[in-house]
Chains A and B, each alone.
Chain A
Amino acid sequence: MSTTTFVLKGGTLVDGSISDILIDGGVITRIEKSLTDEHATVIDATDSIVLPGLVDLHTHLRQPGREDAETVASASRAGAKGGFTALSAMANTSPVADNAGVVEQVYRLGQEAGLLDVFPIGAVTEGLKGETLSEIGAMADSIARVRVFSDDGMCVFDPLVMRRALEYIKKFDGVIAQHAQEPRLTIGSQMNEGEMSARLGLRGWPAIAEEAIIARDVLLTDHVQSRLHVCHVTTAGGVEIIRWAKARGINVSAEVTPHHLLLTDDLASSYDPIFKVNPPLRTEKDVHALREALADGTIDIVATDHAPHTMESKECEWQEASFGMLGLETAISIVQKTMVDNGLLTWQGVAERMSHSPARIGGYEHQGQKISVGSVANVTLINPLKSWTVDRDLVQSRSRNTPFHGYVLPGVVTHTFYKGKLTLENGVNV
């Protein structure tokens, strides 16, 4: 038995065919109806879907600065548990990842953990302040090879700064991932503005504050012929604008989080800040628009916006609490529940939206490759026939702020291979 050679027996490929797969030396070397290899470790993949390793374009790893909430290593374990072989480390750490030093540190921490690829995202502006460009070139040319730039958590609000950033990144084949939130319309905002916020007396975060920025940014992107990625779209109106922009040929991509595909703002009526997230949970109408947009490709990808927070920043009054929720370990199950089980998306579609497309948008080498001979063996096995119960006390993340505690979800990730190496075996982290 070898720890580098595996035969996956009887798994279902995304085209629906059933095949055995040989992984050897970190690469998929054979795909045949029936394979045997006396040196290989045999893994029974009966009933499981064989997916390319999942790629998250939006992850908060909290290191450096908030190692009490998460570290690169703990997020890597959570990622492996959720079937991911690549994460993208958002720049809003402390210190901010707005220079080559920090992105190289995060990159190295990812390599040391060794469970998946960690691709650092660089800040667009110094200190996320939205005023002056950060050292985009230095980060792009560093060993971290940064291509995605984002002030996520903050919106690049100043239209001139956004214009210059969109122009400048063209030199590096980069992309600006915008957190679309008009700051003046969202001062002190706590939740979606609508019937529920009116009743609960929590300050509203209007959909228009997201849509106005998306509209401005697609027009800017068109004008300077650059590339835009819209983070965590949450509104039906935002979807309409992106659909319009794509029809016009503007180079824009967009993501949706698993939680925005399932949860709605009425959960705020508990005043439990486990449901407090930015952008906020929206309405049923928005949820349906997001699902349709993900199905028809208007929204390109699912990204987790995994946002770990310590207990004390959630065990408090709603308005005192931090924004954000865990996402890595539940993402694929939520996607199965909201998109696959109701026929909106095939597993082929899931592979595109959670692996191929995010890797393409991020420019991530060796990620998002098809399950075919010669591909790097980043592979995830999920058994869609099984279900599991989310337990916040059993998460791999260092934090426990999952909004899905107690949910019974479909789809159990049983195995994750990263470059041909097992990082999750029978549902247990290696």
Chain B
Amino acid sequence: MRHLLSISDLNKSDAILILDTATELARVSDGQVKKLPTLRGRTIVNLFAEDSTRTRISFEAAAKRLSADVINFSAKGSSISKGESLKDTAMTLQAMGADAVVIRHSASGAPQRLADSQWMTGSVINAGDGTHEHPSQALLDAFTIRKHLGKGGADLAGLKVAIVGDVLHSRVARSNVLLLNLLGAHVTLVAPPTLLPVGVESWPAKVSYDLDEVISQVDAVMMLRVQQERMNDLFFPNAREYSRYFGLNSQRLAMMQPHAIIMHPGPMNRGLEIAAEVADSARSVIVEQVANGVSIRMAILYVLLAGAPLEAGSN
């Protein structure tokens, strides 16, 4: 495995290897000295053509804890904002000797374009591309679920997870559906019909329009952010109505099974898709997701760059 572009690049043992590696590396993060020498002398570029402070910081912390040199290349004030093409940016990074590029981009497929082109030779890690995928987020979500609900198993067999909200535009949902299914969990997508893609029938997930029906059944509920720009684009009448049907409030929290956890990839719209008291409740693992993000991203870099052996059949 050279790149991580999509969860579909992984087979089950690849995914479990990353989760297990993250478990090991989490110990480092918990220790006094947070650094490992693994990637000393390697250069990792964070190419963030779309703003995302939290994901960039998470990847930066992960790379630094593995002793890599990190170069941050952000949209604002960079050559990207001056109209430089992806090709020219890639060739520049190649000339600088980047061993890996962590790319966040508003265009679906931009990471794959980088990986498939002859423009650069390093590893490409998708840190979120358009409305396509966000594989490191899905891995950290799976890691978080396994930690809380895994009962010591390597995978997530039999667990029920609801993904709630704007599935249509969500790269987090796409990666999570693939990964949770790969790990044996049962996914139900809950959304207004306007925010589900045509073709969702082919996904390995159930679909429901009724959060109340689903919420009591699941072991984990994953709330998706509703972007501001969707508000006035005919997807639903208004924010209040959305919140009434698809928001996670304290009434719905009370309907959940006692062991069930609440997740959100952030940043949250408190009061819209999730009520403040729910986000801050004991059932919420949202802050922990952030911490787990660093461990997972360390594991991804470790597996891709330090050459940990993966089983045959990986992509």
Contacts and interface: CB of A to CB of B under 8 A. Distances in A.
Given A317-B86, A319-B108, A201 B116 contact: no
Interface size range of chain B in the complex: 20 to 34
B133 interface: yes
A35 B223 CA distance: 81
Contacts of B85: 312, 315-316
A319 B199 contact: no
Q: Which of B105, B113, B202 has the most CB of A within 10 A?
A: B113
Nearest to B196: A198
B104 interface: no
A201 B202 contact: no
B109 A316 contact: no
B174 A201 contact: yes
Interface in A218-246: none
B132 A200 contact: yes
A422 B11 CA distance: 58
Contacts of B116: 270-272
Interface stretch (A8-16, A159-167, A189-197, A366-374): A189-197
B90 to A, nearest CB: 10
B203 interface: yes
A318 B108 contact: yes
Instruction: Pick from B107, B112, B116 the residue with the most CB of A within 10 Å.
Output: B107
A193 B200 CA distance: 11
Contacts of A320: 107
Contact of B107 (A196, A206, A270, A317): A317
A202 B198 CA distance: 12
Interface in B107-143: 107-110, 112-113, 116-117, 129-133
Interface residues of A, number: 23
A199 B174 contact: yes
Contacts of A319: 107-108, 130
B197 A318 contact: no
A219 B171 CA distance: 42
A200 B168 CA distance: 11
Contacts of B203: 198-199
A201 B133 contact: yes
B107 A199 contact: no
A316 B200 CA distance: 28
B206 interface: no
A317 to B, nearest CB: 4
A315 B87 contact: yes
15 contacts: A195-B202, A196-B199, A197-B197, A199-B174, A199-B203, A201-B130, A201-B132, A202-B109, A206-B198, A270-B116, A271-B108, A271-B116, A272-B113, A315-B85, A316-B87
